[in-house]
Structure 1
Amino acid sequence: MNTIVTSREAILKACCSLVMEQGLKALNIRAVAQKCGISIGAVYHYFPSKEALISSAVQEIWRLLFHMGNETPASGSFPEYVGRLFETVQEGMALYPHFFTLHSLAFSETEKEEARDVMARSFVQVKAGMLSVLCEDSRVTPKAFSEAFPREDFVEFVFESLLSLLMTQSGSCSVLTEVIHRVIY
């Protein structure tokens, strides 16, 4: 076995690879050490427990799912951004089958709250990106938002709708993007 110290990022990359190949159930300290060609102790240097390793791996996969090749469209169009985000997550779901709907099962009952926190932290970043694109979309009508209907609430609605479409494995988000068009332009 190679005892060369590796990085946290390399370990997380190996975790993602294991999840891709075998699912979350295959993720454990021994399997990750073997995948990296390092000792079990080297994994424990970066992750004090199996739960910490799984939590970090889940957070990394959420990040990858929502950011794989995800760039702001040249036009700065919010509906186009939402459409691309939908496609990006679909591509990621193909790489990580069942992760989207079953990730919380990798955690014990006492760790379910941590799983929700990991997911929530990942989603906060995605929603912040969506809000930024919405604010920069020059085509949005000035009367689209108000104190009673703030941009942040609209982004939350769009994000929850997007998640619902992904969870039900919808093949398209065209109705959602059409609703967005009708509301903001």
Structure 2
Amino acid sequence: MKTAVTSKEEILKVSRELIREQGWSAISVRAVAAACGISVGCVYNYFDSKSDLVGATVESVWREIFHRADDGVAFQDTQTCIIWMYGRMEYGSERYPGFFTLHSYGFMQQDKPDGKRRMHQAWQHVLDSLRDVIRRDANVRTDAFTDRFTVEQFADVLFSLMLSALLRQDYDPGPVLEIIRRTLY
């Protein structure tokens, strides 16, 4: 007999699996409840609405895709970090086909404040991590940044290139690594 799912994280895990197996249209409170082996009311104990469930699921997908490894190796320098991030983008694209395009198009084109907020939180986390890596990178030339060209601005450019790569489904970090080599080292 299947064990009933009883926590918010377990519900989100089942929601992610439904997306992987059946696509985004599979997410409804009723479908998630059935897949979890719980009542619809139990889902509503954790999520106020379908919109809340979908938003939390989107946020959990972002967390899964960009979850940091415990060893911290991916964040030892800027180039290694970019290689890791592009690899995670490819992982996300394979695991959740169409997620990046659907998510950014769906939440940016419609008035969905919670979805936009969650997306920006996930993006801000990635951007903050990138800024921290650049600041700590011992390989960066001491004259690479000035008052007119800051770490924050460079990280923003790299992040914009990543977002563009996501939409194009181009997971080759080579051109970005060349920009880093020519600008920072």
Distance, in Å, in 2 between the alignment partners of 1:5 and 1:111 is: 32
Letter of the structure 2 residue corresponding to residue 181 of structure 1: R
3-state SS of 2:112 partner: helix
- Aligned residue type for 2:18: L
Q: Contact 1:70–1:85 (CA<8 Å) still a contact in 2?
A: no
Match of 1:23?
A: 23
Q: Check conservation: 1:69, 1:88, Cα contact below 8 A.
A: no
State the 1:102 CA deviation.
Answer: 0.7
Q: Give the superposition deviation at 1:114.
A: 2.5
1:170 aligns to 2:170 (yes or no) = yes
Change (3 A) 1:23 1:104: farther
TM-score for both structures, normalised by structure 2: 0.90
Could you list the per-position Cα deviations for residues 76-127 of structure 1 after superposition, in whole angstroms to 9, with x for gaps in the alignment? 22012111110111012101001110125766x8653322221111001111
Equivalent residues, number: 184
- C-alpha spacing 1:116/1:93, structure 2 compared with 1 (3 Å): same
CA shift, 1:73, in A, is: 2.9
Q: Normalized against structure 1, the TM-score is what?
A: 0.90
Aligned to 2:122: 122
Identity among equivalent pairs (%): 36
In structure 2, C-alpha distance between the alignment counterparts of 1:84 and 1:90, rounded to whole Å = 10
- The one-letter amino acid of 1:119's match is M
Quick check: 2:74–2:81 contact (8 Å CA) kept in 1?
Answer: no
Shift of 1:147: 1.2
Q: Which runs of 5+ in 2 are unaligned?
A: none
Distance in 2 separating the partners of 1:111 and 1:2: 39
- Per-residue CA deviations over 1:33-60 (Å, capped at 9, x if unaligned) read 1111111100000001111000100111
Quote the Cα distance in structure 1 between the aligned partners of 2:154 and 2:171: 23
Counterpart code for 1:57: T
* Structure 1 pair 72–5 and aligned structure 2 pair: CA distance change class (3 A): closer
SS of match in other structure, 2:19:
helix
The residue number in structure 1 matching 2:46 is: 46
- Which amino acid in the other structure matches residue 56 of structure 1? A
Q: Distance in 1 between matches of 2:169 and 2:25?
A: 22
Give the structure 2 partner of residue 144 of structure 1. 144
Pick closer, same or farther for the CA change 1:102–1:68 going to 2, 3 Å: farther
- The alpha-carbon deviation at position 66 of structure 1 amounts to 2.0
Gaps of 5+ in 1: none
